[in-house]
Amino acid sequence: MPPVKKEFLAKLIDGKAIAAEINRENAAETAVIAKEYGAAPGLAVVLVGNDPASQVYVSSKVKKCAELGFYSEKIVLPENATQEEVLSVVDSLNRNPAIHGILVQSPPPPQIDEQAIINAIDPAKDVDCFHPLNVGKLLLGDLSGMLPCTPWGVIQLLDRSGISPAGKHAVVLGRSNIVGKPMAALLMAKGKNADATVTVCHSRTKNLAEITRSADIIIAAIGKPEFLRGDMVKEGAVVIDVGINRIADPSAPKGMRLVGDVAFDEVAPKASRITPVPGGVGPMTIAMLMNNTIRAFKAAMKKK
């Protein structure tokens, strides 16, 4: 977590600590599964190409599998792999009973049709919740299956920080298929950790600052460094920063630093609670990926 002014510490939602708590629960559940079934949840991560950031993400997921007692497979295909080769790998993993979750790291090289790959993954093993069947269930309010990792992580951050969205006005900045849209669906669902009134804002939204100033909860996932400024937030709002951006900083050791989609030093004085970047939403994504893999294992056992 970055250095934070002392007066803001009490406002922080510590995603690293909450993710560690969830992973302790994941590990305990995996131990119970091992005793009951003599097996382990299995996660396969497929990487096409040698993108450095993707390699780091894949390695962190495989490492977390080992820590929790999962079975994992890491499959690396060359940068020039064909669509047919990737589909063949997915088909093999779909048929492998030791694998309960399949993740194809995004983004793939340009010759790969990513949506076609997503569509080919068995929905029961779609631990990213990208398959149209799982997205459809989510929009229908059926939360029994796979849940989108980052948005579900945000819901857990709110819940475990004692923040209920019920009856609140939640503004989601961004309409991506990965965060914005599923985030809105989870917040407006019926039941625990939901029941919010949701506004989704994007690049074509008019009077954006007026809308964000009316929000009790703001989820910033717009992909623009420090986009949400202090004058766009009302006193007492809860601010969740999903963004992660690298910006130039000559004073930093590597000449750059990480920032979110929120101008933290401007917004923190007005917010009642706020997530830092890094150390906020980021750690939650992997924790919820592991949780989805456990859910997938249990669903597979029920079918036997």
**Catalytic residue list:** 61, 105, 128
Are 266 and 229 in contact, with CB atoms under 8 Å apart?
Answer: yes
What is d(CA 246, CA 18) in angstroms, rounded to the nearest whole number? 24
Residue 304: Cβ within 10 Å count: 6
Buried b / exposed e over 37-58, threshold 16 CB at 10 Å, is eeebbbbbbbbbbebeebeebb
- Written in H, E and C, the secondary structure of 181-203 is HHHHHHHHCCCCCCCCEEEEECC
Q: Which of the 8 DSSP states describes residue 109? A: P
Could you give the angle at the alpha carbon of 268 between the alpha carbons of 259 and 57, nearest 5°? 30
Long-range contacts of 22-28 (CB under 8 A, 24+ apart): 22/156, 22/284, 22/287, 22/288, 22/291, 23/64, 23/67, 23/68, 23/287, 23/290, 26/68, 26/287, 26/290, 26/291, 26/294, 27/67, 27/68, 27/69
Q: How far apart are CA 173 and CA 261, in angstroms?
A: 9
Q: Are strands 256-259 and 245-248 parallel, antiparallel or unpaired?
A: antiparallel
**Burial call 257-289: b when 16+ CB within 10 Å, e when fewer:** ebbbbbbbeebbebbebbbbbbbbbbbbbbbbb
Using alpha carbons only, give the angle 127, 31, 68 rounded to the nearest 5 degrees.
55
